[in-house]
Structure 1
Amino acid sequence: MKNYFILKNLCRKMYLAGAGDFWFEESEISKGKSLRYRLLCFILFAFYISMTVLEIIGVFFGDMPNDEKSDCTTFAVSHIIVLCKMLSVILNRKRVKELNKKLVEICKDHEDEHRVAENYRIMKINAVAYAVFVYGTFVLFIFEGIRKMMTGSHFITIVTYWPFYEDNSSIAVTFRFITTGVLGVMMVPMICIDSFALVTLIMYKYKFITLRYYLEGLREQFDRNNYAGNEEYATDQLHSGLVEGIVMHSNLIRLSKDIDRSVGGVLALQVCLSSGSVVSLMLQLALSKDITLGAQLKIILFAVALYFLLALFLCNAGEITYQASLLSDSIFYCGWHASSMRRDLRRLVLFSCAAAQRPIVMKAFNMLHLTYGTFIQVVRGTYSVFALIYAQNESTAE
């Protein structure tokens, strides 16, 4: 039941971050419906949306230097997509609860303690590394804002339409610090929801690994039981075990659609976020004339964080396809050919192998394939767009 506690603990963190209760057991985390909690969530998201709206207005109507205009554009695009990612999960709360229940129940009787511990270690490393990248970037933005303030300008991290660039009043300075705090708080539910999508993919991958080891164990069990006078018992055990494995495989195949409906929006929007925002960041880095080392570091780390999360999503999704492709051999070599019911088992094995040979490709919005190749295409496409815009800008400048 290790997966039970992993998911429950993650859902508890999502609840504390203000995203809501996603656990399938009622009143286990939220302890009933709380009006105070709903009011707090409403206030938090009102702050997030208001800040994003001010960024959007700043992009179109703001009068500010080029570097702040670039930051305003990058943050506006990023925060629009981040809000859409969070809302795509929050508005699908019922489906997410059903997904959590299925992730806990499927293959739970055959999970190995050591493999689940390894699974948890990988989840923890990936989630912590992503959080470190995100808050490392946030700290660099704060340092850059402090540096600007120390050199005679004003403190700035989030660039919004108001306060105006020339406004250095106490109200304006206070508002800039408040938006920085809002950004820091906004990152908590964002990281929790991204981590949930990542944990879902990793846990799904390990379900296929668990099933593969279970099917390989059927052959070992059959060989131990298949001796003179015990052939019928060995065959019955193989038959019942194979049927159970096929049922688990069918449930896992159906689970891919549940994952797409629940967190597919997060995965698809991350592709848009990583490609669009990174182009803006690269142009800002390439076209800025007097950019400081701190500003360069914050831009580079921001871009790395976006690509790092995308790589985690797409590579784990690609690993699901690979692990699922190994099941056909495990089914075929389960020992059916040596049993006394090999003619009856042959048809069952053939249908199961055929089903396992259909590649399970994770998709976002049922159209975008989440594979290793998609990650490479996104990286190449992003660089191509950057190179095109940069070349056009250089030719215009000349």
Structure 2
Amino acid sequence: MLENNLKEYHPQKYYLKIICHVLYCFGLGNFWYEKTKRNNIHKTTYVLWVIIANSFIFLMILNEFLAYIRKDLNIKEKGDLILFSFAHPSIVAKIMVFYIKRKEIKDTLQILLEGNKFCNLTTLEKSSMKRARYYCTSLLINIFVILVSATIEGIQNYLQEGVPIRTEVTYLPYRESSGITVNIFRFLVQFHWWYLMAIMYSIDSLSLCSLVILSYKFKEVRHHFNSCRIEMIKLSKSKQDSMDELFEENFIVGIKLHQDALRCARKIQMSLGKLYTVQVAESITMLVICLLKVTIAVRDIASLVKNFMFISCVILLNGTYMMSGGDVTHEASLISDSVFHCGWEYGRMSKGLRSLVVVTVQQSQVPIRMTAFGVLCLSYNSFITVLRLSYSFFAVMY
């Protein structure tokens, strides 16, 4: 019952809580800011699970890098090995960023979701999560198609060449090895990729949802100042004496909302800025490798579908980050106009309040930017820039 009420009246908190719970189950630790009572047995069991899960990730990636020693790999397997040896460490880099910044991420989520609630706009919250679900669902479908197409390609190779079904290229087990233990190990190798992609999806979903919620926080500020103007116009027609006091009260609420949004922007940049850097580097690297694979590797249907879905996944992931960050900048840039047209001219305000309006307009004109590498702004222009850089690098390599 409580969960249903949370989904209805605070959907942002509801969905982010689910993502944090998924990350907790994957063994990345607790990213949720609310304290949960757990007994000592649960804590000890979870510590063991964290050690096992993370050791499994790192040992399998080490097994992948050891595959460079093998001499029996064909061209397709060599291409997949190069692709995975760049892709999987970048996912591990995201995991490490999240682990190192886990306390900051907790604080950021608390400020983002439990900040100053001077006005309760459930409609805006639902709209923000609708947009976030659109991004996350598109990414989930793309990732699922990649995993399925890679599995189909593995089955096709098994039927045509007798190669054991595999999606990752590893040193162990050997191609000629057989037996129950070897088959279990082969299953763990296949499971490793699905597990790693699920973790990556959860991390990116949390990051994307945070950016979308932040953009709607600035939209909420703009909505508040616009409503101030509408209210002042109505009061000015009836010439009510309390309109000046009411405007001052509403305007101060708008300032507090704006300050809360600015604080959230700073916290998100501090806690997730490194993740944006990893994402941009991953996008450029993976796009170049995928394009090289398309031009060099064997061109059968399953392989082409997998490679093109890889490319679309990287572009989609990079695009969602860039567009979400660009929406933050765009929504923040519109606030200055809303402040200037908030209806201050309809009342007889004091000199101090007029000065406060001017200062607020000036502060709202300062651009808000989410950045990668500390210099590359997350924006629509940067999305095109990353694609151009990737293609230029590919052209030089090819």
TM-score by length of 1: 0.91
Q: Which residue of 2 aligns with 1:97?
A: 106
1:244-255, aligned counterparts within 5 Å? 244-255=253-264
**What is the aligned counterpart of 1:242 among 245, 251, 264?**
251
CA distance in 2 between counterparts of 1:199 and 1:344 reads 39
Q: Which residue of 1 aligns with 2:215?
A: 205
**Bigger shift: residues 242-251 or 106-115:** 106-115
1:287 aligns with 2:312: no
CA contact (8 A) 1:18 1:189 kept: no
Q: Which residue of 2 aligns with 1:146?
A: 155
CA distance in 2 between counterparts of 1:84 and 1:76 reads 13
1:267-278, aligned counterparts within 5 Å? 267-278=276-287
| Deviation readout 1:254-284 (Å, 9 max, x if unpaired) | 3222112222222221111111012111111
**What is the aligned counterpart of 2:76 among 50, 58, 67?**
67
- 1:25 CA drift (Å): 1.0
**Bigger shift: residues 342-351 or 133-142:** 342-351
Change (3 A) 1:31 1:303: farther
CA contact (8 A) 2:115 2:260 kept: yes
1:163 aligns with 2:188: no
Change (3 A) 1:384 1:91: same
**What is the aligned counterpart of 1:11 among 20, 29, 43?**
20
Q: Secondary structure at the match of 1:340?
A: coil
- 1:113 CA drift (Å): 2.2
Q: Which residue of 2 aligns with 1:322?
A: 330
| Deviation readout 1:343-389 (Å, 9 max, x if unpaired) | 32221111111111111111134333111111101111111111121
After superposition, the CA RMSD in angstroms is 1.9
CA contact (8 A) 1:24 1:97 kept: yes
Q: How many residues align?
A: 385
1:191 aligns with 2:201: yes
Q: Which residue of 2 aligns with 1:394?
A: none
One-letter amino acid of the counterpart of residue 75, structure 2: N
Q: Secondary structure at the match of 1:162?
A: coil
- 1:183 CA drift (Å): 1.4
**What is the aligned counterpart of 1:78 among 64, 87, 90?**
87
CA distance in 2 between counterparts of 1:280 and 1:384 reads 13
CA contact (8 A) 2:232 2:346 kept: no
| Deviation readout 1:208-240 (Å, 9 max, x if unpaired) | 111110111112222333467633x21112112
CA contact (8 A) 2:332 2:368 kept: yes
Q: Secondary structure at the match of 2:118?
A: helix
**Bigger shift: residues 99-108 or 68-77:** 99-108
Q: Which residue of 2 aligns with 1:393?
A: none
| Deviation readout 1:89-126 (Å, 9 max, x if unpaired) | 12211111111111113353324222222222221121
Q: Secondary structure at the match of 2:130?
A: helix
1:40 aligns with 2:56: no
CA distance in 2 between counterparts of 1:195 and 1:111 reads 24
CA contact (8 A) 1:86 1:266 kept: no
Q: Which residue of 2 aligns with 1:178?
A: 188
Q: Secondary structure at the match of 1:25?
A: coil
Question: Percent identity at matched positions?
Answer: 27
CA distance in 1 between counterparts of 2:337 and 2:227 reads 13
Q: Structure 1 unaligned runs (5+)?
A: 391-398
TM-score by length of 2: 0.91
| Deviation readout 1:162-212 (Å, 9 max, x if unpaired) | 334x53433555433321012112222221111000000000011011111
Q: Which residue of 2 aligns with 1:27?
A: 36
CA distance in 2 between counterparts of 1:274 and 1:111 reads 38
**Bigger shift: residues 314-323 or 177-186:** 177-186
